Structure 1
Amino acid sequence: MLRVLKRTPYFVTNVQSRIKLPEKFKGTIIEKWTNYWKNLFIDYRQMFQDLRTDIQDDPRKALIWTTGITTLYALAKNNPNEIDFKDIMKRVTNDVILVSEDCRNPKSIEHLRYIQKCYNEGVIHYRSLGIISFMYTCEINDSCDLYKAHCSYLKPSYSSLFSRMVDVGFMGKWWNTYIKTTNYDVNM
């Protein structure tokens, strides 16, 4: 990889020296456009040279940065979305239905019914922050046109955010649903 980074600036310089603009394009937008791209290539050439020297000077720092960026990319790639939430809710509900009522865990059933009620009322919402996702509820449906829906003084406060949180999605899993429905067939 270092050899490729070492050869790249020279390759870009050779390409720039071979490209000549005809006289009829001097002073036109085409000349400005080619100058823009030449300067962009120069900037990237300098960036690759700096990157190469930084990697050679401090390989630990480069390893830490590479590991951090790769981890963030993997977390963002595995961030669950609302479709995943609906899918897991359907799967768990189908599994719970197959268990007799005497054996079902009441906490799991209560959680599933609450989420189904929120979907029926249209008060459950999804929000993604890139590497973590949230399912939360609000008091009023979005299509509701009551005074309470428009008054800024009646909006929920930020302190009530955690009480309105239904589930947290991280690393490809919806954790609250997983915790509450793991033992759905154990009546406690």
Structure 2
Amino acid sequence: MAASWTAIRLCSGAAKAAAPVKVTRWERLKNSKAGVWCRSLFSDYKEACRETVVACWERPVKASIYLGLLGGAWTCFSSRPDHSSFETNLVECSNQLGVLSPWIRNGTSDKHVQNLVKLCNDGRLRHLSLGIVSLTYCADYDPDSSLYEAHCSNLSVPWRELPKRVLDVGFAGQWWILASKMKDYDINEEEFKHLPVQMQATTPPSVQEVERNEKLHKDSWLPLKMESEEEGEGKSPEEKTAV
């Protein structure tokens, strides 16, 4: 009887050992090729981040310089102007010149803005983004034109001619060429060409001259002091004249 029970236990233990172990879906996913690749990738990034932190701790000055450069590049990238901002600035500059008389407009500013407005009306202005810098250049034809020359790739302008066609450079939220051309847009230098050379250039007044002019302006609003006749009788003509 004891031998039979022993045989039954051995058979049941062998059956349990031979039964397959149930594997969960998550374990199958981890042991798959995609799971192994993701774990190895995560391990590589974890090791790279650890080495980066250690290097920053050991060389803080170098790390600060790199972080500053990366932050500056990201700021320039996020603040680079687009084509719509260029058109907006162009309209504002055109309005500023439009409210001025033709006799006092700056010739350089007016010529540059009028040229840009003409190209914009012809549909020949193009925008090119280079990451942290934006460029505005002119093309030969409007893209909506039905001319053969406007759509033939063999007749397109080569890239080596792009520097000659650049009209403005956008960087750090500003179009620099347009801003430089609009400097002193309300001063017509042609009005002063007949003056002597020493009078064509003006210098800003000093602090002392400004204070003196302000004092004279304030004194001009003070009431005049009139001397009475009795006080003036006892004075000589020279004293009266001095007063």
TM-score w.r.t. length of structure 1: 0.77
Provide the residue aligned with 1:157 in structure 2. Answer: 158
Provide the residue aligned with 1:25 in structure 2. Answer: 25
Task: Return the alpha-carbon distance in structure 2 between the equivalents of residues 79 and 152 of structure 1.
Answer: 29
Q: CA deviation at 1:88?
A: 1.0
After superposition, what is the alpha-carbon deviation per residue over 1:115-158, rounded to whole angstroms, capped at 9, x for unaligned? 11111111111111111110001111112233323445533234
Say whether 1:140 aligns with 2:141.
yes
Q: 1:141/1:124 Cα in 2 relative to 1: closer, same or farther (>3 Å)?
A: same
Say which SS state the counterpart of residue 95 (structure 1) adopts: helix
Say which SS state the counterpart of residue 140 (structure 2) adopts: coil
Structure 1 runs of 4+ aligned residues shifted over 4 Å read 26-31, 33-37, 150-153
The residue type equivalent to 2:23 in the other structure is E
Q: CA deviation at 1:26?
A: 6.1
Provide the residue aligned with 1:47 in structure 2. Answer: 48
Q: Larger Rg: 1 or 2?
A: 2
Provide the residue aligned with 1:4 in structure 2. Answer: none
Q: Which moved more, 1:125-134 or 1:155-164?
A: 155-164
* 8 Å Cα contact 1:25-1:31 kept in structure 2: no
Provide the residue aligned with 1:113 in structure 2. Answer: 114
Task: Return the alpha-carbon distance in structure 2 between the equivalents of residues 90 and 26 of structure 1.
Answer: 61
After superposition, what is the alpha-carbon deviation per residue over 1:89-136, rounded to whole angstroms, capped at 9, x for unaligned? 121112112211211112211111111111111111111111111000
Give unmatched runs, 5+ long, in structure 1.
Answer: 1-21
Q: 1:41/1:154 Cα in 2 relative to 1: closer, same or farther (>3 Å)?
A: closer
After superposition, what is the alpha-carbon deviation per residue over 1:31-84, rounded to whole angstroms, capped at 9, x for unaligned? 546545544432332122211221123223212211111111111122111121
Matches within 5 A, 1:67-78: 67-78=68-79
Matches within 5 A, 1:75-94: 75-94=76-95
Task: Return the alpha-carbon distance in structure 2 between the equivalents of residues 26 and 92 of structure 1.
Answer: 64
Q: 1:48/1:160 Cα in 2 relative to 1: closer, same or farther (>3 Å)?
A: closer
Give unmatched runs, 5+ long, in structure 2.
Answer: 1-21, 190-243
Q: How many residues align?
A: 167
Say whether 1:166 aligns with 2:167.
yes
Identity %: 27
Provide the residue aligned with 1:96 in structure 2. Answer: 97
Task: Return the alpha-carbon distance in structure 1 between the equivalents of residues 26 and 120 of structure 2.
Answer: 64
Report 1 or 2 for greater relative contact order, CA contacts < 8 Å, sequence distance ≥ 6: 1
